[in-house]
Structure 1
Amino acid sequence: MTATLLLTASILGACSDEEGAAKKGENAGNVKATGMPIVEEKIQVDGFAAKFFASQDWNNLMLWEEYEKMTNIDVEWETVQIEGLAEKKNLKLAAGDYPDLFFASAFSKTDLLKYGQQGVFLPLNDYIDEYAPNFKKILEDYPSVKQGVTMADGNIYGFPTFYDPNFESLRAGTPWINKDWLNKLGLEEPETTDELYKVLKAFKEQDPNGNGQADELGWGSGYGIDQFIHYLRGTYGLNKQGSMNINLDFKEGTEEFRFVPATDEYKELLTFLNKLYMEGLINQDVFTTEPHVFAAEASKGNYGMLSEVDPKELFKLDGYIGVPVLEGPTGERSYNFVSNGLGNLGMFVLTDKAENPEAMVRWMDYFYGEEGSKMFFMGFEGVTYEEDESGKFKYLDTITNNPNGLNMDQAISEYLTWPGGYYPGMVRQKFFQGAEATENSIQNAEKTLPYTIKDEDILPGLNYTVEESEQVGAIMTDIQTYINEMTASFITGKQDFSKWDEYKKTLDKMGLQDYLELAQGAYERSTKEK
């Protein structure tokens, strides 16, 4: 059945591509080169999108209603909850029942290239060159972004999420520590891994909240062990080329890849986390808890250290400050979990059913410009935000202190779509009102900045051919599952570190060396092209 569906999809894709090919450019005369509306005569297109809040009806949402008035473009939205996105979009593509455009649908590089070469997704290079001045400028200003969005066949098939590299508190930030507890116990902020261990142990054992009960906890997160690992990567000398290829960095002094989860440094990192876990200094349900469950516990104020965004915004907790970047046992001290600002690449794609690609590229490009960013993230003056005398934008009290008891994300989602993080466009600090933009988060980032790796050292994501992508996918699906399982086992003590060599041999048996060869080839190809 699967084979039949795939064959049908390829046939339908080929047919619809031939039919659509004759239409390309036919409606370009209706598109204005600049200004609004985008088209002289109103058009209607079908769009599919992922959304975060089930209560939202995108066809009656202020953002899209107002944008329709501005552009003369009516998008008829079909939406799905983020949790059901992967299944729904894959079914649509397999059945050939897909829309003109996919928005906030998070297509992977593999999918972009596969469906692009099948003709289902349109190559956007020429349209960007002529109809997307805002996005084109980003590609010109940030060559690594252009390299990242360009597939191995030379085409761009998707518009990405792009985080302004100058928005430091969104790109980099350490966990948060309870400054009041430090003061109560006469402790300084930890500067090394050894000092962090001593601080967490003191938090747990010395009653810093002063209630006479042993109810204090050490370091917690509701988003899994990765939150801990990412913070410590630079402390243990890992990922000196950044986080765009999270399992890869260079062997010292070379441009030859090594596999991060198989290094001695990664073993040492896990050994440190094992020590914290076994002594109860990490939340014991870190591998199983869900964010909302952890939030209820964290809001009690019993954690001395938290790996989430600003606790004041997330949990209504005062007294937390950013933890310093730590020095590791070999003297390494760097914050390396940093990208070049490029998020998911496949957040906006046009299919071969799109009869007005020129108009829709202009429609999308607006959100990479200043005015579009402001509308997308702030909404509408007098309704959702106001501008103060200094020119700063802030949400109205009905959003930040909602009379119906809604939190900020819930309140703003009655007008806008950005909460949840699934969107194409450019994220600018002056228009973004999430927790990463608070004064506390900015101060945290400033503390981190001296130790953050330089932008020029960050390696863009690797681009594979279709054949290579299939090989990488086949190898890494099983390897990543195994790494996740063994990482949990080593940290929780279910697996002894004497089994480390056996773990590495298993990785090799699963095809690790083949993956490294493919990755090295993709890197060397991109270097030659550059």
Structure 2
Amino acid sequence: MRMRKRELSSLALVLSTAALLAGCAGSGKSGGTANEDDFHESGLPIVDKPITLRIAGTYDERTGSNWNELETIKELNKDTNVQEDWNLVPGTDWANKRKITLASGDLPDVVLDLTNSEVVTGGAQGMFIPLEDLIAKYAPNLTAFLAKYPEVRQAITAPDGHIYSLPLANMSQYKHADGNSLWINKEWLKKIGMEMPTTTEDFKKMLEAFKAQDMDGDGNPNNEIPLTGIYGDSLYGLGYLFGSFNTMDNTFIVQDDKVQFVRSTPEYKNAIDYLHSLYAEGLIDPETFTQNSSQLIAKISSGKKASVGAFFAWSADQNTNADYRWDYGSPIIPLKGPDGYQITPRNNLQLSPAMFVITKADKHPKATMRWVDRAYEPELSLKLREGPNRLKKMDDGTYDIIENPKNYTAGEWKVKETPYNSFVYGFSQEMRDKERLPKPKPGQLDPDFDEWYQALIPYMKSWVFPDILFTNDQYKTIEQYQTDIQAYTDKMAAQWITKGGIDKDWDGYVQTLNKMGLSDYIKVYQDGYDTNKKNLEK
């Protein structure tokens, strides 16, 4: 038995010595690749022998899941010897699929599009590797982008000081404008002899007229929908109307450095009461509370004539039928409410801090970092954001925009050759300025144009809660309260909008929230906000 122990001890010593020597041999040239001598710290290829990264994520259904055939991915891979095995699912399935993937123990090398809490928790558990040293050594494009936009670095840095995820970041100033815009059928307005509404009262009168008349001329005055949307959705929801009541349809807002839970405020109560006044008269599509985005887009685009008077979206021309896409003209600036309020959020810039993590299963972390850093090269970021098929580089370094062919909608054309918002990029205002963007027609505005952002500036309030990462313990506290409070407030809002009774129920509703731990829920957001502010001031 003693001899056996000595043999095992000797064997362990030999193996550990061999491992140490192997590590020294590859020192300075590699970093986790299966074959240390294959990796190159600079230049191409990244590795001498091809490697394949297993990557899980979601995709835009207009783009499809065959990413290896996209022009942007081909350019990303060119001459690198890095290949990808994409395991992609539709966006509607991704949340559940992601949870299963993270819990399975069989991790891919890279996971895309996580929640902030998943990143912090996975990092604390060792599921995702820290990236700050890899970024400093092997990601010059991302390093330059983070130096230019320190707020992005702040957003991706966990409270423990590590960076566990890489961002999708669009720092164009026009993205401060809220994507939840209101579009009204101007041809229907002409038919009822009304001007574009400027107040919530005018808006209601307009919807009443849409409901009362046969707007599409088919002889049936009851098959038109005055107003539709998706309740609670940030893009297609009813949030636009909350600004007329001096609040926002956000869970939390910040006023004078004080965090507020919107759904317990008098302003929120007034907004819900107004929505009930619309619903009670049949002016809001009942399916607003059940439909998804695909169903909404089909509703506003599938008929031979427009059947919807007004809806909420980022763009009308990308969602409606080509035969009447321009009937909706321009989005409108915030409606003035009964007390004169007329506001819109000054949104955080488009930033997804948790877009790309490298898991502990990845045998090639340095090669992975060098590969993904190519996506942050300014010109490739431009193509990932805008679509290479839409861009024509001019002699002066600017980019002309190629409009969509007739067999593509503008949205389909934009995402034809890029993963778009399902992958990383770092898009700067400087790159935005290099685009020769089409100008809006006189009297027309569109959220894709800087002119729309400029028009909204006088109404913007910087109340939106910032993009920050909480600590692992804070996320646990948030999880403790979030699900039940969200479900309860959603249930009551739907009840009040469809059936009324908010005045009668309000005091009891607030008492119930307090019993559910609302003060603790607010406090964890206040603590996270205060910590983030202090870090920014350092």
TM tier, shorter chain? 0.7 to 0.9
1:360 maps to: 368
- Asked whether the 8 Å contact 2:269–2:502 carries over to 1, the reply is no
Matches within 5 A, 1:149-188: 149-168=156-175, 171-172=178-179, 174-188=181-195
Q: Partners in 1 of 2:178 and 2:45 — Cα distance? A: 34
> Are the aligned partners of 1:378 and 1:395 in contact in 2 as well (CA < 8 Å)?
no
Specify which of 116, 133, 140 is matched with residue 140 of structure 2.
133
Q: Which moved more, 1:195-204 or 1:273-282?
A: 195-204
Alignment counterpart, residue 88 of structure 1, candidates 94, 97, 109: 97
Matched-pair contact (CA < 8 Å) for 1:144–1:460:
no
Secondary structure of the residue aligned to 1:441 is coil
Deviates more, 1:387-396 or 1:514-523: 387-396
Name the counterpart of 2:312: 307
Give 1:526 shift: 2.0
1:153 deviates by: 0.9
| Counterpart residue number, 2:77 | 68
CA deviations on 1:107-155 (whole Å, 9 max, x unpaired) are 1121111111121211111222233333333433333333222111111
CA contact (8 A) 2:254 2:465 kept: no
Q: Matches of 1:147 and 1:458 in 2, distance apart? A: 17
SS of match in other structure, 2:275 = helix
Output the TM-score relative to the length of structure 1.
0.81
Q: Would you say the 8 A contact 1:56–1:413 is kept in 2?
A: no
For residue 30 of structure 1, report the CA deviation from its aligned partner. 5.4
Instruction: Name 1:232's counterpart in structure 2.
Output: 241
Q: Structure 2: which 5+ residue stretches go unaligned?
A: 1-18
Q: Deviations over 1:356-395 (max 9, x none)?
A: 32332232222233221244356556xx765579954445
- C-alpha distance in 1 between matches for 2:213 and 2:318: 27
Aligned residue for 2:362, secondary structure, equals coil
**Amino acid corresponding to residue 253 of structure 2 in structure 1:** D
Secondary structure of the 2:460 match is: coil
Number of residue pairs the alignment of both structures matches: 488
On the 8 A contact 2:387/2:415 being kept in 1, the answer is: no
Corresponding residue number in structure 2 for 1:260: 262
Contact in 1 for aligned 2:198/2:335 (Cα 8 Å): yes
CA distance in 1, matches of 2:193, 2:226: 17
CA offset at residue 222 of structure 1? 4.7
Could you tell me how far apart the structure 2 residues matched to 1:63 and 1:473 are?
A: 37
Helix, strand or coil at the partner of 1:134: helix
CA distance in 2, matches of 1:512, 1:76: 44
SS at match of 2:189: helix
Alignment pair present for 1:340 and 2:377: no
Q: Does 1:460 align with 2:462?
A: no
What letter corresponds to residue 521 of structure 1 in structure 2?
Answer: D
Structure 1 residue aligned with 2:154: 147
Q: Which moved more, 1:24-33 or 1:44-53?
A: 24-33
Partner of 2:489: 483
Structure 1 or 2, whichever has the larger Rg, is 2
Instruction: Assess, with a 3 A threshold, how the Cα gap between structure 1 residues 352 and 442 changes in structure 2: closer, same or farther.
Output: closer
- Specify the SS of the correspondent of 2:348: coil
Q: Secondary structure at the match of 1:120?
A: coil
2:456 matched residue in structure 1:
449
Corresponding position of 2:227: 219
- Which residue identity does 2:345 align to in structure 1? N
Aligned-partner residue type, residue 247 of structure 1: T
Residue 290 (1) aligns with residue 292 (2): yes
- Measured in 2, the distance between the counterparts of 1:278 and 1:432 equals 47
Summarize the alignment of residues 42-57 of structure 1 with structure 2, pairs less than 5 Å apart.
42-53=50-61, 56-57=65-66
TM-score w.r.t. length of structure 2: 0.80
Question: Aligned-pair RMSD on alpha carbons?
Answer: 3.5
State the alpha-carbon separation in 1 of the partners of residues 117 and 53 from structure 2: 26
C-alpha contact 1:490 1:497 (8 A) present in aligned 2: no
Amino acid at match of 1:315: T
With over 3 angstroms needed to count, the CA separation of the structure-2 counterparts of 1:413 and 1:193, relative to structure 1, is closer
Report what 2:357 is aligned to: 349
Distance 2:258 2:415 in 1: 46
**Aligned in 2, Cα 1:267/1:341: closer, same or farther, shift over 3 Å?**
same
Closer, same or farther: CA 33–396 of 1 in aligned 2, 3 Å:
farther
Structure 2 residue matching 1:426: 3-state secondary structure: strand
Q: Does 1:114 align with 2:121?
A: yes
- Paired with 1:513 and 1:289, the residues of 2 have a C-alpha distance of 33
Cα drift, residue 158 of structure 1: 0.8
Q: Aligned partners of 1:45, 1:472: CA distance in 2, in Å?
A: 34
**Distance in 1 separating the partners of 2:195 and 2:521:** 44
Post-superposition shift, 1:57?
3.3
Kindly state the Cα deviation for residue 268 of structure 1 after the two structures are TM-superposed: 0.3
SS of the residue aligned with 2:52?
Answer: strand
User: Equivalent residue for 1:473?
Assistant: 479
